[in-house]
Chains A and B, each alone.
Chain A
C-alpha cells in the first residue's frame, strides 16, 4: 500500500459525459501527478500540482482539467468523453515535486467509455 488513494476504482460512462476522478496523496506529500495508461499510448504524464498550484503540464487534452485543493487532494475532470479516453488513470504523489524524488502511485481508476 503506497498511501495514495484513488476513487472510484472503476467508472463506466457514455460518450459525451463528464466524470471526476479523485486522489488523496500520501500524508505529508505536497505534490500530485496524474498519468494516463492506455494500450496504444502506454503510460503518459498528464499534469502536476504542487501545493495547490499547477507546476507542469504534459500531454493533457483541453477537455481534461485538474486542480489541487487546500487539503492537498486532487481531482481530474474529464469532459466530452470519447471512446479513446478509456484508460487507467493513475495519481502519484511526492514530497515536494522535485526531480530526484520518488513518486508513489495509487491503485488507479479504470475508466470505460461506451
Chain B
C-alpha cells in the first residue's frame, strides 16, 4: 500500500529564513505528488504538484519542490519565509491508477518574528 512520510511533526523558523519540509513516498512505479497547505480553520489549498517532466516544480506563494526518485523524496522549499506561511503542510501521493490521495501526517510550521 502507498504511504507518505513527513518526518517532521513541527518546525519553527524565523521570518526571512529559508524553509525545507521533507516528504518521502513509498509508491514505486509512478507517484503523483502534491503539497497542500491548511491554515487554521481552513480547508486544504494546493501549493504545487508533480506528475512527470522537470523534477523542480514551482508553486504558488513562492514555494517550490524537487522530486528525487533515487531518494523517494519530494521536499518543499521556500527561500524566505513570511509570517503568513505559518500553517500545516501536507504531502500527498495518488500514484498511477489510484484516484484517492494518501496523505502524510503533516508538518506544522511556526514562524517567529
Q: Choose among A2, A55, A56, A100 the residue that contacts B43 (Cβ–Cβ < 8 A).
A: A2
Q: Assess whether B28 is interfacial by the CB under 8 Å rule.
A: no
Across the interface, which residues of B come within 8 angstroms of A90, CB to CB? Answer: 43-44
Given A42-B104, A45-B101, A99-B95, 9 other A-B residues pairs in contact with their CB atoms under 8 A? A33-B99, A33-B100, A35-B101, A43-B92, A45-B102, A56-B99, A105-B45, A106-B43, A107-B43
Q: Choose among A2, A55, A98 the residue that contacts B45 (Cβ–Cβ < 8 A).
A: A2
How far apart sit A10 and B68, CA to CA, in the bound complex (Å)?
A: 40
* Contact of A99 with B42 in the complex, beta carbons under 8 Å: no
Q: Assess whether B96 is interfacial by the CB under 8 Å rule.
A: yes
* Contact of B46 with A98 in the complex, beta carbons under 8 Å: no
User: How many residues in A have their beta carbons less than 8 Å from beta carbons of B?
Assistant: 26
Residue interface mask A39-68, B partner, CB < 8 A = 1? 000111100100000011010000000000
Given A43-B90, A102-B49: A55 in contact with B44 (beta carbons within 8 A): no
Across the interface, which residues of B come within 8 angstroms of A58, CB to CB? Answer: 100
Q: Which residues 90-113 of B have a CB within 8 angstroms of A?
A: 90, 92, 94-106
How far apart sit A100 and B92, CA to CA, in the bound complex (Å)?
A: 12
Across the interface, which residues of B come within 8 angstroms of A13, CB to CB? Answer: none
List the 8 shortest-distance A-B pairs measured between CB atoms, nearest first. Answer: A45-B100, A43-B103, A105-B44, A105-B43, A107-B43, A56-B99, A42-B105, A100-B51
Across the interface, which residues of A come within 8 angstroms of B106, CB to CB? Answer: 42-43
- Name the residue on B nearest A9 (C-beta): B41
Residue numbers of A with Cβ under 8 A of B are 2, 4, 31, 33, 35, 42-45, 48, 55-56, 58, 90, 92, 97-100, 102-108
Between A and B, 25 residue pairs with Cβ closer than 8 Å are: A4-B43, A31-B99, A33-B99, A42-B103, A42-B104, A42-B105, A42-B106, A43-B90, A43-B92, A43-B103, A45-B100, A45-B102, A90-B44, A92-B44, A99-B32, A99-B94, A100-B32, A100-B51, A100-B94, A102-B34, A103-B101, A105-B43, A105-B44, A105-B45, A108-B43
- Name the residue on A nearest B44 (C-beta): A105
